[in-house]
Structure 1
Amino acid sequence: MRDFQLPGRSAVYAANGMCATSHPLAAQAAVDILKQGGSAMDAAIAGAVLLGICEPQSTGIGGDCFALVSPAGTEDVLAFNGSGRAPAAADAAQLRARGEAKVSLHSTDAVTLPGAMDMFCTLSDRFGNLGLADSLAPTIHYADAGVPVAPRVAFDWAREGHVLQGAAKLHYLNNGQPLAMGTIFRSPGQAEVLRRIARDGRDAFYTGEVADDMVSTLNSMGGIHTMDDFAQVAGTQTAPVSGDYKGIELIEHPPNGQGATAFLLLNILKHFDISSMDPLGSKRAHIEAEASKLAYDARDRFLADPDHTTRLDHMLAPETAAKLAALIDPRQALASPAPGAEAVHKDTVYITVVDKDRMAVSLIYSTFHSFGSGIASEKFGILMQNRGAGFTLEQGHPNELKGGKRPLHTIIPGMLRRNGRVEMPFGVMGGQFQPHGHSRVLSNMVDFDMDLQTALDAPRVFTEAGKLRVERGYSETVRQELSDLGHDVIIPPAPIGGAQAIRILENGVLEAASDPRKDGCALGY
């Protein structure tokens, strides 16, 4: 139990339904849907789409999503891939011929097709009680009426608003300036788009005037996207992958998600006595940083569109982890492997919902970098993702940019199962950090017996681009010890990631936690 004389927050408990996400209005909208008789999926869609208005720097209907779903009455976990593909005419060879070494973050080359809305429609049809129109109603209201800009959102807007270009400046800036905390953000164009989808379904987004608005905007900026590209968007159901960590089964999305990276990282950590270490000491931070370098290097070599990934079994093999663990020196930092092709980012939203029937939904939804590509459609103001920056231009690489391929994705929803029982949908936002985040939350709970809220609150470290980013929650002594081991230590300008989780206790009660690094909360009834 936490010390109630110190700053912090308690976990939230409820008997019927629960939502945990990164903005209070989205959590409230989800719980309202549950109270109306909606399923966890109805509620998750309602909250997720609203997050695109509450946190437009992080997500929106021009983005992608992934979901893990445990249907009511079962302990099964199903995986759904709502990631869009590159337009048919895309080809790395064309970019190489122009002298490009990588996909430019804020160019039309980086804009892949938006897969989230198609998947929301599919999931609503399959798992919803109320229907898509009910799930979209809260966002339609707030997009018209406006949402006050929350503190973390304002922080991100001020840091990243400069990437907005063209029509996006009109839709997402206030007289050319980022919106400040407490000011009202409205998006009437997106409200109109959602009204059409509520009435006519997914075709209202992927065909007709709305699709033409996106295509014509992209084409005017040199894009090669077509109306046919948009019309053919279709998400897929796939089989999740899973692995064991000290008796807890972690379930992740398969490629083109990076979930396998979390398994490799945890398999490496099994070769060290993590539970004997100080949870906030330099020894644990060092071992995790070294394991992450090796696991992420493997990710960048092997993971790609599932139709092009051939080394997944190698990544998941215990022998692979054992060989990598042997490379770690507890007394000296490894030189960081060369950065992978996947561009770094930290902006994503995650939502988890469990309903009274104990359907559990773990859903993550993103436009990749802050404000995605920075390109918004002229009429409706739909911000388009830059997930194509996740491709490499390296010839012959499994993740090479080609038309119709899905890029390596950083966003990964998670689920825990214990003794065959689904126990906890959870997610950790933060781009590349996410596999490390999943492993750290699980290790906090298993190795150090932290309660759920403490496991999310605990300070974080992450090695990225040759720097070991150490949050201010660590002591200066730890930072110095890590420097002495050879790490290039910095305090990151922004917090590392953000997490949400709901645990289904053995007596059926729901316990939820929400990361203070975001504006959100957990709510139940």
Structure 2
Amino acid sequence: MRRRTFLTALPAGAALAGALPANASATQATPPAPRSRPAPTPPDQVVGMGDRITGAKYVGRSTVWGQHGAAATAHPIATLMGIETLKRGGSAIDAAIAINAALGFLEPTGNGIGGDAFCMLWDPKQGKVVGFNGSGPSPRLLGLETARSRAKDGLLPRYGAVTVNVPGTVDAWWSAHQKYGKLPWKDVLLPVAELCEQGVPVPQVIAFYLERNMAVFERNRDVIEEHDNRRKVYAPNGETAKTGQIFANPDLGRTLRLIAEGGRDAFYNGPIADAIEGYFRRIGGWMTKADLNAHQTEWVEPIRTNYRGVDVYGLGPNTQGLSTNQLLNICEQFDLKAMGFQSAASIHHQAEAKRLAFEDRAKWFADSRFSETPVAYLNSKAYAAERARLINPNRVMDRVFPGDAPTQGDTTYFSVADSDGMMVSWIQSNYRGMGCGLVADDGHGRTLGFMFQNRGEMFATTDGHPNIYAPGKRPFHTIIPGFACKDGKPWMAYGVMGGGMQPQGQAQIIINMVDYGLDPQEAGDTPRWQHYGSTEPTGEAAAAGSGKLHLESGVPAVTKARLTEMGWSLGEPDGGFGGYQNVMMQQNPDGRWTYGAASEMRKDGLALAY
């Protein structure tokens, strides 16, 4: 190596020392003290989006288009699983079941067969939107006083056996397949079992949440009755899989094979049910085989409102689907388009509508088998007009209250559609991240490979509250699928994940597309807002003042400044803005419809159509 080249390869200090005169010592040449420099700003805080040749500049990718089928999920392999199921002759429901089963393995941070499922779909034979409620009830051996004894400050704990309800997902699969499946039951599930056994690399967002969830369980291990099974499945080498590392779950693969061969009864009245009952008996829980076998999915009539010519559908209580309708009904009283896209006025009116709707949510929403919610009244335009008059266009409301009506986390969402015109909007969750922290085993050293939901946390414990805990009762549910129609034809199977963000996010998607003319991908990629601090259906009181309005980074600075002037307390972006998927049917002039599919840039997912 030549001397000049060698010097440039050395660290700066070494190069300087080599340049000293031969008769000078290192101690004689004291270099000047280095200047203190501020730490550089991380590039992701100063670097903006690249430039697209067409469409909105903030959009990460184009809506994808196809004519035979489409799928949009939170994981690329789940999307591929859905497309492959369609190509094998499966219906959109077959594809939905395959996708959901795959996501329970691929994205255990948001869903799995230990949780509940809800769905709305366009039935092309009936020419209408139908839906089901796949949420399970609380154990019948767990009484109110026992549940209260585990509460703190009147709120049930976030983790442990007291939060476990009957998992409704597998029965939802079975019930939907009985009505709409084309492929044999086992042919839908066996490819997923093989996937669990082979393993896949973990993507970035799921790796982040997997590590964080496991750390949360360790911090709360005093309220979780058993720990080894969870660690064995999700951190088999003492830590969770990092981005790009292979994760496999052969125990879940074995469970799915039992379900593939034995149908829903394998889970609710067979070997899996026996294992679940034995496990909870050993750890001091309450779930029994009788609880499991008694559960059935409920097919329901969705509720509907019309927003500026678009029919928007939701599922009624015990879900919060009515909140989306109420939010939109209030917003319809104002000219959001004239206010301007991403303007302070538009966001202000939307957020105030949310605050009003969520007070009704806290007062009324519960299992309709135990208490009656005045759905028709709360969903009416007259009531929305009454509530809208409470909004000050220039100033945030100091406090909001529920209306006087006559005598009320983490999730995965996906959309899929087939060549017959069936469009499925499906949401499924273990509630708070991965769930309650408990993974059952069969009593012989093998786990079942999935975690139970902690949806029971959402019960209230206050006497007289519609959502008060009771044995055999379904808790208030945050997870809601979305569906919209135009002119009597299906338009969108869409949804936004994330606890209380879901009705807020669904309304923003509809507003972005109806009021501001955005396409499915643009509607999802635009910056979002989320308001925290409303009264909760658990009985938790509203936050002081107007709560906190969180805005994503892309909201214009002038909008943020004006919202502050209006009295809003703004929060920094916190990653809680949901995860969105959408499959849209476009009616074309030649009479042939096509599908446009969009996925969520905030997740690891992918939309495909063919």
Normalised TM-score (structure 2): 0.82
Which residue of 1 is the match for residue 439 of structure 2? 376
Higher relative contact order (CA 8 A, sep 6+): 1
Q: Among residues 197, 202, 211, which one is paired with 1:144 in the alignment? A: 197
Equivalence map 1:498-509=2 (5 Å): 498-507=579-588, 508-509=593-594
Matched, 1:176 2:238: yes
For residue 501 of structure 1, report the CA deviation from its aligned partner: 0.9
SS in 2 for 1:81: strand
**Counterpart amino acid of residue 154 in structure 1:** A
Number of residue-to-residue matches in the alignment? 519
Equivalence map 1:272-421=2 (5 Å): 272-307=334-369, 308-335=371-398, 345=409, 347-378=410-441, 379-421=447-489
**Counterpart amino acid of residue 419 in structure 2:** K
Q: Aligned in 2, Cα 1:482/1:220: closer, same or farther, shift over 3 Å? A: farther
Matched, 1:250 2:337: no
Which residue of 1 is the match for residue 98 of structure 2? 46
Which residue of 2 is the match for residue 342 of structure 1? none
For residue 6 of structure 1, report the CA deviation from its aligned partner: 6.5
Which residue of 2 is the match for residue 522 of structure 1? 607
Matched, 1:480 2:561: yes
Which residue of 2 is the match for residue 440 of structure 1? 508
Which residue of 1 is the match for residue 39 of structure 2? none
- Verify the 8 A CA contact 1:471 1:495 in the aligned structure 2: no
SS in 1 for 2:281: helix
Which residue of 1 is the match for residue 79 of structure 2? 27
* Cα distance in 2 between the residues matched to 1:49 and 1:97: 35
SS in 1 for 2:433: coil
- Verify the 8 A CA contact 2:312 2:484 in the aligned structure 1: yes
Which consecutive residues of structure 1, in runs of 5 or more, have no partner in the other structure? 340-344
- Verify the 8 A CA contact 1:42 1:131 in the aligned structure 2: no
Which residue of 2 is the match for residue 512 of structure 1? 597
* Cα distance in 2 between the residues matched to 1:392 and 1:175: 39
The superposition leaves residues 353-411 of structure 1 with CA deviations (integer Å, 9 ceiling, x where unpaired) of: 11111111111111111111121113213200011112111112111110111111111
Matched, 1:107 2:188: no
For residue 336 of structure 1, report the CA deviation from its aligned partner: 5.8
Greater Cα offset, 173-182 or 31-40: 173-182
- Verify the 8 A CA contact 1:20 1:27 in the aligned structure 2: yes
For residue 177 of structure 1, report the CA deviation from its aligned partner: 2.5
- Verify the 8 A CA contact 1:368 1:386 in the aligned structure 2: yes
For residue 283 of structure 1, report the CA deviation from its aligned partner: 1.6
Greater Cα offset, 468-477 or 246-255: 468-477
Which residue of 1 is the match for residue 578 of structure 2? 497
**Counterpart amino acid of residue 173 in structure 2:** F
- Verify the 8 A CA contact 1:163 1:374 in the aligned structure 2: no
Which residue of 2 is the match for residue 154 of structure 1? 207
- Verify the 8 A CA contact 1:73 1:357 in the aligned structure 2: no
For residue 431 of structure 1, report the CA deviation from its aligned partner: 1.2
Matched, 1:67 2:119: yes
* Cα distance in 1 between the residues matched to 2:96 and 2:500: 24
The superposition leaves residues 228-248 of structure 1 with CA deviations (integer Å, 9 ceiling, x where unpaired) of: 111111111111111100000
Q: Aligned in 2, Cα 1:94/1:4: closer, same or farther, shift over 3 Å? A: closer
**Counterpart amino acid of residue 89 in structure 2:** G
- Verify the 8 A CA contact 1:255 1:309 in the aligned structure 2: no
For residue 196 of structure 1, report the CA deviation from its aligned partner: 0.8
Q: Give the aligned CA root-mean-square deviation in angstroms.
A: 1.9
| Structure with bigger gyration radius | 2
Equivalence map 1:448-487=2 (5 Å): 448-465=516-533, 466-487=547-568
Q: Among residues 83, 91, 114, which one is paired with 2:143 in the alignment? A: 91
* Cα distance in 2 between the residues matched to 1:6 and 1:396: 48
Q: Aligned in 2, Cα 1:444/1:382: closer, same or farther, shift over 3 Å? A: same
For residue 504 of structure 1, report the CA deviation from its aligned partner: 1.1
* Cα distance in 2 between the residues matched to 1:97 and 1:4: 54
Q: Aligned in 2, Cα 1:335/1:137: closer, same or farther, shift over 3 Å? A: farther
Matched, 1:228 2:228: no
Normalised TM-score (structure 1): 0.95
For residue 492 of structure 1, report the CA deviation from its aligned partner: 2.9
* Cα distance in 2 between the residues matched to 1:418 and 1:7: 25
Which residue of 2 is the match for residue 205 of structure 1? 267
SS in 1 for 2:515: helix
For residue 335 of structure 1, report the CA deviation from its aligned partner: 3.9
**Counterpart amino acid of residue 473 in structure 1:** G
For residue 34 of structure 1, report the CA deviation from its aligned partner: 0.6
* Aligned-residue identity in percent: 36
For residue 284 of structure 1, report the CA deviation from its aligned partner: 1.3
SS in 1 for 2:527: coil
